[in-house]
Structures are given as structure tokens and as C-alpha cells.
A and B are shown apart, each in its own frame.
Chain A
Amino acid sequence: MVVREKFHFDLKELQNKLIELGEFADHALSESITALETKNVELALEIMENDTRADVLYEEINDFAILLIAKQQPVAIDLRRIIVAIKIATDIERIADFAVNVAKSAIRIGSEEHVKPIVRIREMYEATSKMLKLSLESFIEEDVKKAKKVADMDDEVDNLYGQTIQELLRINQEKPEFLAQITQLSFTCRYLERAADHVTNIAEHTFYLVKGRHYDLNE
């Protein structure tokens, strides 16, 4: 007979909640970039309103994890899995907050003509989104190779961030009247770069889960 069947079922449930939170944050981030691209203030407002869903999920994950620890006395990798789930939830919840921040930037820019196409910002999001999916897979599958790949992909986001900021600074010198918009676009780049860092944290958590040791992949 399988002993502790219920406990392992509950651990799966915890993972499912994390995936749900991850998908929510990813979608919110994607929509926030769309709001920016299409100057859609209504969509941006919607993203801000919907963020409470991320907060609720985050709290649910925390409460559930605390219950599991209190009731099941997990040890070894099971204990690490629950602790890591709490940390991952924190990282993802921050990513959802960045989506709100990007939405706010979209609102501040409003209908003003863009000083440059939003192409690189979308690229940064696409890379971050891939990283997020891969990092959650690495956690669920306990796959450190995938986790390592996430860390490598973060370099790509960092490069895009560096290039975009340079470009924005250059445009600022040419069109100083757009300072407010350029500041918002720079913020947005920063939010995405930070989001990718939080995803890299998730990869680090996978390393901790599997190896039981701490790794710094954000170097």
C-alpha cells in the first residue's frame, strides 16, 4: 500500500496552485504589455483590478503550505518542497505586481505617440514568459537542467534590458520633451528585468529543492 497517499496528493495540489498563480502572473504581464502597445487604458485598469486574484492565490498557497507543515510534519525533500513553494509563490506574486506597474505606466503614457516601437519590450516579456514556464517545470519535475537553462536565459533579458535602456537614453537626448514617457518606458524595462530575476529565483529554489544546497544563479 502507498503510505501517506493523502499527503502526496496534497503536495500535488500545492503544485497545481503554484502553476495557476504562475499562469495568472504570466497572462497579466502579457496583457500589461498589450495595454502599453495598444494604448489601451481600459485594459490597463482591468489588469490592476484583477490583481487581487493573484493576492488571493498567494495567500491560499501560504495557508495551505502552513497547514501541510502543521499537519503532516514533512521532512527532507517534502519539507524543502513546501518551503520552496512558499518562496516561489512570493516570487510569482511579485511578478504579478510588476504587471500592475507596467499597466500603471501604460495609463501614465496614455494616448501619447510612442517615441519608439515597443518591440524590444515585447521581446523581453516573451523571454521572461518562457523562463517562467520553464522554471515552474523545473520545480515540478525536479529538473536542475531546466533550472540552469532558466538562469542562462536571464542573460538574454539582461542584454535586452541594457540595449533598450541605452536606446531610450539616446532618444531622451534627441527628444527631451518626451522625458515623462521615456521614464515610464524605462520603468517598464526595469520591471521586466526584475520579473526575470524573480523567475531566476524560482530556478534557484529548484536547485535547493533537488540538491538541498543554496545556489546563486543571479550573479
Chain B
Amino acid sequence: MVVSTYSENKTTEETSEKMGANKGSKKSLAYQTKDLNLWYGTDHALKNINLDINEREVTAIIGPSGCGKSTFIKTLNRMVELIPVVKISGDILYRERSILDKSYKVEDLRTNVGMVFQKPNPFPKSIYENIAYGPKIHGIRNKKVLDEIVEKSLRGAAIWDEVKDRLNENAYGLSGGQQQRLCIARCLAIEPDVILMDEPTSALDPISTLKVEQLVQELKKDYSIIIVTHNMQQAARISDKTAFFLNGEVVEYDDTNKIFSTPSDQRTEDYITGRFG
């Protein structure tokens, strides 16, 4: 579980300023990977990945099944370490610091890097508790502060109006789309810098999908978002940059406008036009 940076004597405004995020100034890099290679045993799943990922932008990762896109996103918060046979070479810099360095505590990383998964996974608790859980386990007990965090997070995830009168109801009573936005709100409650999204809408209906997409557009003003999606139209709609992965390699990484109008690589063109994949 992630570690909150909240302390009870901070105001809500103060806590929205994240260290290193340089809000309102020139964009810098959130992530940088250098010759990143990853093996599952003998299976070479990521090959020489060199990606510079801007802060406060939406970066989409697209590609056919098994191309390494989910593996890639899981390396960014070191979730991939949970798999014993994994071997990694190269480097991953988060805010210019190597996250593969042994001195980098995974808890510190995940304080700044939140994640939203394919299937909404709320806790079997009330809506309120789902949001307050993270801040609470990091010591926040002040009810007023927690209330503020819950409201701000739910508003941030564009779900406040739908749930404000039922905060004590079980989160499982929400629709799939609402549950996913709740999970995004839960992610916002610990004030991350980066939000990783692994196919966040693949279990949602089209309208809920569009709502989450709209939300992503809003969130990128304050957060850096990296989204893995099977739905390349979604990548086209919401991202600023797109990386096309194929067989563990980045075939093309460019502005989304370019990728979806005049891609440079024939393989990208073939994939996005549905000629293979």
C-alpha cells in the first residue's frame, strides 16, 4: 500500500503542491527509461526501451496482446518485482532518480505513483472508507481533514455529485463506471504525482468509458498519466503522446496527432489501421 504525504497540519491547498512536480512552470520529465530490458526467465519481454515521459501529459501505451505494454507500466512502480523470475537491465529514472537503485524504497516510489487497474477494485467498505483508508493508515485521524480529503478526491474524480449523499454506503453498490472513478479518487487521496492506468476502461460501458476519458483530460492538468490501453481509439482521443509497442520493442513513440495521422513506421500504420493485431 502506498504511503501518504499528508500531515494533519497542512491545508488542502498546501497538500496539492507535490514535491518535484513544478506545477505551472515548464514541463520536465516524470519518467525516463534508459536501455530498459526485462526478462521473464528466458523470455525477453522488454527490449531496449528508451522513453522520455513528460509530466502533466497523458502518455498512452498501445500494442497487441503480449507486446509488453502491461509489463512496461508495472516496471514503473516496481510491481513487476513481485514476480520472482524477473530480471531487469538498464535504468528507470523517476524525477531523475533511479528507481532500480536498491536504496530507493518502493514505499517512497508508490507515494508518488498511484495505479488504477483494469477491473475496478474498491475495498469492501463504504465509499467514504475507500477514500479515507490510505490517508488513515498513514496516521491521519482528524475527521475534518479526512472529510476534506474525501470530498476533494471524489470531486477530483468527478464522482462527488453522484455519491455525496451516500458516502456511508458500501462501494460495491456503485456501478462499474462509478467504482472505477472511485478507485481513481482513492488514488488521488494520497496525492500522487503520477497515475498509472492499466486498461482502466476495458470493463466499462461506452458512456462510463467516455466519463473516465474526460476525467483523464481533467487530471492531466495536475498529474502525469501513463495509460495502457487495448483501445487505440482511446489512446487517440485522450493522449498527448503515444508509444506503440510490438514484441517488447517500442516501434514508434511520438505525438499522438502524428501517430494517428501520419505514423512514421509502416508497422504502426498497419496496426492502427487494423491490418494486423
Residues on A facing B (Cβ under 8 Å): 1-7, 63, 66-67, 70-73
Contacts of B214 in A (CB 8 A): 1-6
Instruction: Verify B233–A3 contact, CB threshold 8 A.
Output: no
A-B contact count (CB 8 A): 36
Interface band, chain B: 10 to 19
Q: Can you list the 8 inter-chain pairs with the closest CB atoms, starting with the nearest?
A: A3-B210, A71-B236, A70-B260, A1-B158, A70-B261, A73-B233, A3-B214, A3-B211
Instruction: Verify A72–B236 contact, CB threshold 8 A.
Output: yes
Partner of A71, one of B207, B211, B256: B256
Q: Write the nearest CB–CB distance from B97 to chain A, whole angstroms.
A: 33
Instruction: Verify B260–A71 contact, CB threshold 8 A.
Output: yes
* CA–CA, A73 and B238, complex, Å: 12
Contacts of B237 in A (CB 8 A): 7, 71-73
Main secondary structure of the interface of B (DSSP, over half): helix
16 A-B interface contacts by CB (under 8 A): A1-B215, A3-B207, A3-B211, A3-B213, A4-B213, A4-B214, A5-B217, A66-B261, A67-B257, A67-B260, A70-B236, A71-B236, A72-B236, A72-B237, A73-B233, A73-B236
Residues on B facing A (Cβ under 8 Å): 158, 207, 210-211, 213-215, 217, 233, 236-237, 256-257, 260-261
Contacts of A67 in B (CB 8 A): 257, 260-261
* CA–CA, A134 and B257, complex, Å: 33
In the complex, what residue of chain A is closest to B233 when comparing beta carbons? A73
Besides A1-B214, A6-B217, 9 more A-B contacts (Cβ < 8 Å) are: A3-B211, A7-B237, A67-B260, A67-B261, A70-B236, A70-B260, A71-B260, A72-B236, A73-B233
In the complex, what residue of chain B is closest to A1 when comparing beta carbons? B158
Contacts of A5 in B (CB 8 A): 214, 217
In the complex, what residue of chain A is closest to B235 when comparing beta carbons? A71
Contacts of A7 in B (CB 8 A): 237
Contacts of B260 in A (CB 8 A): 67, 70-71
In the complex, what residue of chain B is closest to A71 when comparing beta carbons? B236
* Most chain B CB neighbours (cut-off 10 Å) among A7, A70, A73: A70
Contacts of B210 in A (CB 8 A): 3-4
Q: Write the nearest CB–CB distance from A113 to chain B, whole angstroms.
A: 54
Q: Write the nearest CB–CB distance from B156 to chain A, whole angstroms.
A: 12
* CA–CA, A5 and B236, complex, Å: 15
Q: Write the nearest CB–CB distance from A71 to chain B, whole angstroms.
A: 4
* CA–CA, A70 and B263, complex, Å: 12
Partner of B211, one of A1, A66, A70, A73: A1
Contacts of B215 in A (CB 8 A): 1
